[in-house]
C-alpha cells in the first residue's frame, strides 16, 4: 500500500506536492469514491485510481530530460490563459503525458528546466531542505557595486523575508549594462529578479545555466536532451535517494533527442 500522492507522482502525472493539491480539490477517486484525505493509501495494482475520471497508469520506465526553455514560454503542460507552454517541445518526443517540469522558470526567463516522471526525485529537487543549487546568468540595467553584491552574499530582505546567502560575482561589465552570475539554493517565486529589484536594478535577461550538477551547456533554445546516466546518479545522490555504488555499470547512450520550434 502507498499514499495516493506518491502513486500519482510515480505515475508521472505531477510532483507529489501538486498531487496533494489534486486530492484536496477532490479530483482523485479510489474505486469510485472521491478521496480528499492526504493520508489515504491504495494499491495501484489492485485499486482503480482515477484523476478527473480517467484511470491512471504507472509509468513503465523513468524518464529524465533537460530542456532549454526560451523566454516567452510558460513552464507548464497546460496553461488556462492559452499562453505558449512547453508542450510544443515535448510533443515530437511523445512525452507530453509522461513527464512534468521540476519547478518553474518564469515566463520572461530562459534556460535549463528538468522534466521527469520520477515524482520522488522531483519532490526532493524542489524542496529547500536538500539545498540543490541553481546557477543563473543575469543581465542588469547597470553594474552593482561591491557593497551591493555584499548584501546579496549576506542575504537581503524581500517582502516574504530574508533570502539565504547567495554566491554572486560580476561576469562582464559592459558600457551601460553588466552580466552577473548568481547561485541560489532556495526556490522562491521570481527570487532572482526580486533580489536585484530590491537593489534598484532592472533585470533585462535571466538565464538559468545549471541545476545541481546538470548544466545547460550548448543546448539551443527549445532543444531537449535526455540526461546522461552519470547526471541522474549525481542528482539522486544530492538529495539522498541513491548511492552511485548501487548502480550497475552500463554504457551511457549519448544519442540526443531534440525538438525545436
Q: Which pTM value belongs to this model?
A: 0.74
Checking if the pLDDT of 261 tops 60, the result is no
| Residues 6+ positions from 189 with CB-CB distance below 8 Å | 104, 106
Question: Given phi > 0 = left and psi -120 to 50 = alpha, else beta, which region is 200?
Answer: left
Rounded CA separation 209/112 (Å): 6
> Who has greater pLDDT, 234 or 92?
234
Q: What is the mean pLDDT of residues 241-255?
A: 46
Checking if the pLDDT of 191 tops 60, the result is yes
- At 146 the three-state DSSP class reads helix
Q: Which residues are catalytic?
A: 106
Write down the pLDDT at residue 214. Answer: 97
Checking if the pLDDT of 258 tops 80, the result is no
Rounded CA separation 259/90 (Å): 7
Domains annotated on the chain, with CATH: 2-55 (3.10.290.10), 64-128+213-246 (3.30.70.580), 133-211 (3.30.70.1560)
Rounded CA separation 230/213 (Å): 10
Write down the pLDDT at residue 10. Answer: 74
Write down the pLDDT at residue 164. Answer: 93
Start-to-end C-alpha separation, the chain: 43
Write down the pLDDT at residue 22. Answer: 93
Write down the pLDDT at residue 114. Answer: 96
Q: What is the mean pLDDT of residues 1-30?
A: 86
Q: What is the mean pLDDT of residues 56-80?
A: 87
Amino acid at each position: 500500500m502507498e499514499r495516493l500522492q506518491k502513486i500519482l507522482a510515480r505515475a508521472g502525472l505531477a510532483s507529489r506536492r501538486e498531487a496533494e493539491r489534486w486530492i484536496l480539490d477532490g479530483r482523485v477517486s479510489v474505486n469510485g469514491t472521491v478521496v480528499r484525505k492526504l493520508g489515504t493509501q491504495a494499491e495501484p495494482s489492485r485499486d482503480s485510481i482515477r484523476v478527473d475520471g480517467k484511470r491512471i497508469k504507472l509509468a513503465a520506465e523513468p524518464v529524465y530530460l533537460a530542456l532549454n526553455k526560451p523566454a516567452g514560454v510558460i513552464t507548464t503542460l497546460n496553461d488556462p490563459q492559452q499562453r505558449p507552454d512547453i508542450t510544443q517541445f515535448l510533443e515530437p518526443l511523445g512525452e507530453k503525458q509522461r513527464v512534468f517540469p521540476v519547478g518553474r522558470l518564469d515566463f520572461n526567463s530562459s534556460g535549463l528546466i528538468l522534466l521527469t516522471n520520477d515524482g520522488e526525485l522531483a519532490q526532493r529537487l524542489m524542496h529547500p531542505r536538500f539545498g540543490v543549487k541553481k546557477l543563473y546568468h543575469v543581465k542588469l540595467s547597470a553594474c552593482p557595486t561591491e557593497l551591493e553584491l555584499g548584501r546579496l552574499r549576506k542575504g537581503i530582505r524581500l517582502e516574504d523575508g530574508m533570502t539565504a546567502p547567495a554566491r554572486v560575482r560580476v561576469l562582464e561589465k559592459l558600457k551601460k549594462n553588466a552580466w552577473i552570475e548568481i547561485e541560489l539554493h532556495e526556490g522562491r517565486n521570481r527570487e532572482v529578479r526580486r533580489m536585484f529589484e530590491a537593489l534598484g536594478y532592472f533585470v533585462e535577461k535571466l538565464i538559468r545555466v545549471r541545476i545541481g550538477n546538470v548544466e545547460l551547456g550548448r543546448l539551443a533554445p527549445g532543444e531537449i536532451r535526455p540526461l546522461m546516466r552519470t547526471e541522474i546518479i549525481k542528482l539522486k545522490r544530492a538529495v539522498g535517494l541513491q548511492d552511485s555504488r548501487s548502480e550497475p555499470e552500463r554504457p551511457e547512450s549519448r544519442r540526443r533527442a531534440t525538438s525545436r520550434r
